[in-house]
């Protein structure tokens, strides 16, 4: 992509976030582990005519590469006729975030506290401001939060200790101060959402979300969407959440289905034949979330 093409795509991404607020839908940000998960996301978006974000964090960047990711998404966008953008999720450093901006990613999440749980407020704000300034070169939207967000994108066996989790909830005043100090485009709110898939359903504090929505003007995202009852997403979109991240639910469907396919086909070694059912299972997860986010039929091609 040329710099001008990147700027145009970033402007369209900004317009999508405005539409999501005005029309009360949220856009799914779905993690890509490999080409199979990317295909599943793209097919779901095509089938439901939904705008989507695909996202990679540092582990996937190391495995796939920034430029390769940009090229693959651009190719599927053109081939299938999609409204699709890329989010660099949980970028651990200013350098890594800048690399994502330079590669043409439309959304950048700078998360210094994820890499360093002991990072000070000054360090987090300073790093975020530097990324916001660099993002002006392309118009990429920058997302961040003022403190560490717990959990991990895995299958957890422990219950959720909400007494502890509530200590890390966002506050309306804290959100406003952070947004004002950094100039970010998207605030990653903590209202009971938690990374990973747990044996108990997650509970979102929607009243707190309303207060945060009233306190700040920028977009709001929810990380850790997996394992959340769908009605919470429906209400969150109505309140004004523009972006919801989904990862663990997809990975769970991928692995469980792959284990079944391998067991059912012990003599099959052609990988593409083994992956058809896996792709369909992940696609079903993505489509379920798109319906809950009310983003079907919202794509502008």
Residues acting as catalytic residues: 89
Closest CA to 105 of 154, 57, 166, 144: 57
Closest CA to 26 of 244, 300, 208: 244
Cα–Cα dist 186/157, whole Å: 31
Cα–Cα dist 31/96, whole Å: 18
* Chain CA centroid to CA 285, Å: 15
Q: 154 φ, ψ to 5°?
A: -145, 180
| CA contacts within 13 A on the Cβ side of 9 | 27
Cα–Cα dist 195/109, whole Å: 15
Token digits for 253? 């469907």
Cα–Cα dist 117/216, whole Å: 25
Cα–Cα dist 217/145, whole Å: 15
């Amino acid at each position: 992509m040329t710099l001008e093409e990147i700027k145009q795509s970033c402007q369209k991404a900004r317009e999508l976030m405005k539409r999501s607020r005005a029309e009360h839908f949220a856009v799914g940000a779905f993690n890509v582990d490999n080409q199979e998960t990317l295909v599943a996301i793209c097919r779901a978006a095509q089938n439901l005519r939904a705008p989507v974000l695909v996202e990679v964090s540092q582990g996937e960047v190391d495995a796939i590469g920034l430029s390769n990711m940009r090229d693959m998404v651009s190719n599927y966008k053109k081939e299938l006729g999609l409204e699709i953008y890329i989010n660099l999720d949980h970028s651990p450093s200013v350098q890594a975030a800048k690399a994502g901006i330079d590669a043409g990613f439309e959304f950048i999440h700078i998360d210094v506290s994820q890499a360093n749980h002991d990072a000070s407020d000054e360090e987090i704000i300073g790093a975020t401001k530097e990324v916001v300034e660099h993002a002006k070169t392309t118009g990429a939207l920058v997302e961040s939060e003022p403190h560490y967000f717990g959990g991990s994108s895995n299958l957890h066996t422990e219950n959720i200790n909400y007494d502890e989790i509530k200590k890390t909830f966002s506050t309306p005043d804290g959100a406003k101060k952070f947004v004002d100090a950094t100039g970010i485009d998207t605030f990653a709110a903590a209202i009971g959402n938690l990374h990973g898939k747990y044996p108990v359903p997650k509970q979102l504090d929607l009243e707190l979300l309303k207060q945060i929505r009233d306190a700040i003007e920028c977009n709001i995202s929810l990380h850790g969407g997996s394992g959340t009852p769908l009605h919470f997403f429906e209400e969150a979109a109505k309140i004004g959440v523009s972006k919801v991240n989904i990862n663990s639910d997809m990975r769970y469907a991928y692995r469980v289905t792959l284990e079944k396919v391998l067991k059912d086909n012990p003599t099959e070694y052609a990988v593409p034949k083994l992956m058809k059912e896996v792709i369909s299972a992940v696609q079903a997860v993505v489509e379920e979330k798109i319906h809950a986010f009310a983003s079907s039929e919202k794509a502008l091609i």
